[in-house]
Amino acid sequence: MPTSNYQPERAIDEIADFLADPVRPADFPSHILRFRNDRAARTVGLDDLDDASWIDHFGRFTALPDAQPEPLALRYHGHQFRVYNPDLGDGRGFLFAQLREDRAAGGRLLDLGTKGSGLTPYSRTADGRLTLKGGVREILATEMLEALGVTTSRTFSLIETGEQLVRGDEPSPTRSAVLVRMSHGHIRIGSFQRLAQRGETAHLARLVDYCLAKLLDRTPGDNPALTLLECVVERAADLAASYMVAGFVHGVLNTDNIAITAESFDYGPWRFTPHWDPGFTAAYFDQTGLYAFARQAEAIHWNLAQLARSLQDLTEVDAMVEVLRRYPALYESRLIARFLWRLGLETPDAEAGRAFVVAAVEVLRGHPVLIDQFFFDWRRGEHEAPLYAGVAWDALRTARTALTARDGSTAHAYWGGEAPCSMHIDEVEAIWRAIAEADDWQPLADKIEAVRAMGTAHGPGPAPSESTSAS
């Protein structure tokens, strides 16, 4: 049974008439619980469910008590690699329930959404399913990003479902699964694009009001659409900065993959780049490098411009242009704050912080040093290691003297370890290989434990209000 923290909501009912379609979940042949995120479940009062009840709700999708009675597939359009596609929508997922997290965790409205839960009106030629490997990869991505301070959805549940799937990019047939993610809303830039493209201005205004009130906690003021854009630009600049400091490449930053809360979600061909390699890509089909490591900030900015275009019937274009022009400075400010945070540093001198980060990025670009190793070594004071010999590193050490370490920034035992925790593709493949070849789930469990320890060692990410100093 849910605990006293359990607070179901049905806020989506306010906009479901123009945003969603009721659907039925797939009837899977079997259900094997592979992962349940009790840490996340605790924040919404569901950690006391026994495994049988967990499978009933998150494998068979029996409605939670007092929550929405049936799943809803959301409607949206989007630019995919900058080509507009009106034939999108939740093709293998749906919104299952909305819950309020406990006040200690922030009190936000959260969605439980699915991936691989069956056919919907938007499945097109696909089968509505998820491979087990895809589910495992999403667990690893969300756990690592959360540990590195990125605002991300969390993998809530993964259940193997007993089907054999054929996929062109994996050895086939391959095992199937259904995943549940916990997100701070599933409304996307593409949700606004669909309404604008269809000329549904009244519905667009209602969606703006919903997002401000339910997801962004902003007073709409005299110009709700402009307030929305301001909020999303601020949050998206931080998201782009957090990807860079984490060394993360999402792979498919299409407008249907950018949440209006700027919470990162939906992990397909993601990778972590080992080195600060501007051209590193995650998706084999990204032939032009549109979403390469160093192009992600620009890609997100372009997506924000598409949101502004969708809102042009609700507010003044010139005012939105001014908001969009703030993005580069916001991005730089957040990049500095997050870079210093990961190093456990702070400074009262904004220019000193900026000078150090600019120098650090330049030296990392020019040297084959692992990103994780750099942050690990320099946070714990190992600036003089042979790896960091040379004139460029000498200059960085000099710039470092203007900064100070945060109190307790290396207190956790993690900083005394032999090596940093990382999530490179060879590690991901090794974890999957153990599952595929021997049904051995221990390497995955061990990795999650190590990643969470690293997250505890880093502490909470920098506050949104910070610019060039860490919390």
Question: What value does the mean pLDDT take over residues 369-383?
Answer: 96
Count CB-CB contacts under 10 A for residue 282.
21
Q: Alpha-carbon distance 369 to 388, whole Å?
A: 9
What is the per-residue pLDDT for 465? 59
Half-sphere exposure of 269 (CA within 13 A, CB side): 16
Strands (DSSP E) contained in 101-244 are: 109-115, 130-131, 154-165, 174-183
Tell me the pLDDT band of 169, cut-offs 50, 70 and 90.
Answer: confident
- Residue 426 appears among annotated catalytic residues: no
Whether residue 421 has pLDDT greater than 70: yes
Whether residue 351 has pLDDT greater than 90: yes
Q: Alpha-carbon distance 442 to 237, whole Å?
A: 37
Give the residue from 129, 140, 159, 142 showing the smallest Cα distance to 34: 159
What is the per-residue pLDDT for 471? 31
pLDDT tens digit sequence for 98-123: 999 998 878 999 999 999 999 999 99
**Tokens 């004071």, located at residue:** 381
Give the residue from 377, 333, 376 showing the smallest Cα distance to 469: 333
Whether residue 350 has pLDDT greater than 80: yes
Give the residue from 50, 45, 39 showing the smallest Cα distance to 65: 45
Strands 78-80 and 72-74: unpaired
Strands (DSSP E) contained in 87-184 are: 95-100, 109-115, 130-131, 154-165, 174-183
Give the residue from 99, 91, 12, 16 showing the smallest Cα distance to 57: 99
Whether residue 174 has pLDDT greater than 90: yes
Residue 389: Cβ-neighbour burial (10 angstroms; 0-12, 13-18, 19+): exposed
Across-strand partners of 178?
159
Give me the amino acid identity at 386.
Answer: P
pLDDT tens digit sequence for 219-239: 988 999 999 999 999 999 999
What is the per-residue pLDDT for 436? 96
Of 98-107, 125-134, 438-447, minimum mean pLDDT range: 98-107
Whether residue 148 has pLDDT greater than 50: yes
CB of 97 closer than 8 Å to CB of 143: no
What sign has the CA pseudo-torsion 220, 225, 226, 230?
positive
| pTM for the model | 0.96
Token pair recorded at residue 347: 């400074």
N-term to C-term CA, the chain: 38
**Tokens 């192009």, located at residue:** 295
Whether residue 375 has pLDDT greater than 80: yes
> Domain ranges in the chain?
8-189
**111, 238, 256, 266: which one is catalytic?**
256
E strand or H helix that includes residue 366: helix 350-366
Give the residue from 238, 55, 250, 244 showing the smallest Cα distance to 142: 250
Give me the amino acid identity at 89.
Answer: G
What sign has the CA pseudo-torsion 335, 338, 344, 348?
positive
CA 145 and chain centroid, separation: 7
| Ramachandran category for residue 8: left, alpha or beta (phi over 0 → left; psi -120 to 50 → alpha) | beta
Compute the C-alpha angle 57/60/61, nearest 5°.
Answer: 50
Give the residue from 89, 93, 94, 90 showing the smallest Cα distance to 76: 89
Count CB-CB contacts under 10 A for residue 276.
23
